[in-house]
Amino acid sequence: MTEPDEVHFKSISWCSQILHDADFIITPTFSRQPKPDTEDSLIAETLKSDSTIQACITIYRKPAPGVSWINEVRTMVTLGTGMNGGAFALHGGIIATLIDDAIGTLLTVNKFGKEDGTAVPLSSGTVTAYLNVQYLKPVKTPQTVLIVARCKEVKGRKYFMEAEVKDGEGNVLAKADSLWIRIVRGKL
Q: Is residue 188 part of a domain?
A: no
pLDDT tens figures, 125-161: 789 999 999 999 999 999 999 999 999 999 988 999 9
**pLDDT at position 122 over 90:** no
**pLDDT at position 186 over 60:** no
CATH number of the structural domain spanning residue 51:
3.10.129.10
Q: Is residue 11 part of a domain?
A: yes
Name the pTM for this structure.
Answer: 0.91
Which range, 67-71, 108-112, 118-122, has the best average confidence (pLDDT)? 67-71
Average pLDDT of the chain to the nearest whole number: 90
Which pLDDT band holds residue 185 (cuts at 50, 70, 90)?
A: low
Residue 63: CB partners within 8 Å, gap ≥ 6?
Answer: 69, 70
| Domain membership of residue 88 as a residue range | 6-182
Is residue 159 within 8 A of residue 107, CB to CB? The reply is: yes
Q: What is the number of structural domains in the chain?
A: 1
Q: Is residue 121 part of a domain?
A: yes
CA distance 187 to 129: 14
